[in-house]
A = this chain, B = another copy of it.
Amino acid sequence: MKIKDIGGEFGLIERIRKKVKTHSKEMIAGIGDDAAVLKHDKNSYLLFTTDMLVENAHFSLKHWTPEQIGMKAIEQNVSDIAAMGGLPKFAVVSLALPDNIDVEFVDKLYNGLNKKSKKYKIDIVGGNITHSKEIVVSIALIGFVEKKYLALRSGAKINDLVFCSGDAGKSAVGLELLRNNLKGKSIKKHLEPKSRLDLARKLMKIGVNSMIDVSDGVASEVKHICKESNVGAVIYASSIPISKDTVIDARKFKKNAIDFALYGGEDFELVFTAPENKLKQLKKHDVAAIGRVVGKKYGVKLIKNNKKYNLENGFDHFR
């Protein structure tokens, strides 16, 4: 049986989640959120996450500089900590490198890691190096979050509004440009994505019920929140924030930018839900209301051109 036969990446994660038994009372949340939440002290939790970049799956040396690979490796892990409402603190870096790689490549990769570590006040405290055919950069990151600011995927409440930060779809359309040897402003958005750590902290202080970062597209992320929170949602396609540049670049493929926003990943924007009475405060920030949380029996729906659709999953490495 192949991974695609059990529903791809998400099916496999679900299968693993059932296989892994955890016993510790010190685990508040584990597999199924952006980061594990572990007991730490009276006022705060420890957050623990990991994410990997693999050559050819996530980047090609034809398009990416070593600095950009290093930068994204940190950003994607920081994004997981941001989505929990926390702050990153300590990282370990595992590298697998082809035998014949230049030392200068490693230097530049570390320039990228260092640049972003400095930005986010992360200390790289360890790691290891081995050899491989393809370049692999695997990072594990420890962060901390005040208990009162913890954001889980499972916290959405019926009648919450659903929000999306910044603008969605830019990284996915940038990747499509690269694949088709086209040009456009979205390419840089793909090569140098930025997590929303500062924004996430502001949102938690206002009061958010659930949060996730955009790894696989807005559609997937809304579905993850609904599944973990045991609720449904209705999302309005016309409300999803998309930049002009993304619209312009999407036209180059005669595609609608909304599809990149819904089903393309790696934007590292935030999808979250909050009570309607927080709307006024939230609107002062770089976020847009895109829908509403409803009962589970309603399902997860997309309203587009006055028609109702079931929301499908986003990007999957194994489908």
Bound-complex Cα distance A103 to B22 (A): 22
A248 close to chain B: CB less than 8 A: no
Contact B97 A3 (CB under 8 A): yes
Stretch at the interface among A52-60, A190-198, A252-260: A52-60
Report B-chain residues with C-beta under 8 Å of the C-beta of A132. 54, 56-57, 134, 136
Q: Closest residue to A9 on the B side, CB-wise?
A: B129
Report B-chain residues with C-beta under 8 Å of the C-beta of A30. 123-126
How far does the Cβ of A4 sit from chain B's closest Cβ, in whole Å?
8
Known interface pairs A41-B41, A125-B48. Does A2 touch B134 (Cβ–Cβ under 8 Å)? no
Contact A92 B126 (CB under 8 A): no
Report B-chain residues with C-beta under 8 Å of the C-beta of A128. 50-52
Contact A134 B131 (CB under 8 A): no
Instruction: Indicate which residue in B3, B23, B27 contacts A121 across the interface (CB closer than 8 Å).
Output: B23
Q: Closest residue to A8 on the B side, CB-wise?
A: B129
Bound-complex Cα distance A2 to B3 (A): 38
A110 close to chain B: CB less than 8 A: yes
Bound-complex Cα distance A99 to B12 (A): 12
Known interface pairs A106-B12, A317-B129. Does A136 touch B96 (Cβ–Cβ under 8 Å)? yes
Instruction: Indicate which residue in B13, B126, B142 contacts A35 across the interface (CB closer than 8 Å).
Output: B126
Copies of this chain assembled into the complex: 2
Instruction: Indicate which residue in B94, B101, B113, B142 contacts A138 across the interface (CB closer than 8 Å).
Output: B94
A179 close to chain B: CB less than 8 A: no
Report B-chain residues with C-beta under 8 Å of the C-beta of A94. 50-52, 138, 140
Report B-chain residues with C-beta under 8 Å of the C-beta of A113. 20
Bound-complex Cα distance A54 to B134 (A): 10
Contact B129 A13 (CB under 8 A): yes
A-B contact pairs, 26 of them (CB 8 A): A2-B102, A16-B127, A20-B114, A20-B124, A22-B123, A22-B124, A23-B123, A24-B89, A24-B123, A27-B90, A31-B126, A33-B126, A36-B126, A38-B142, A41-B41, A49-B92, A50-B93, A50-B128, A50-B138, A52-B130, A54-B130, A56-B132, A130-B317, A133-B134, A134-B134, A138-B138
Within 8 A of B (CB), among A33-75: 33, 35-36, 38, 41, 46, 48-52, 54, 56-58
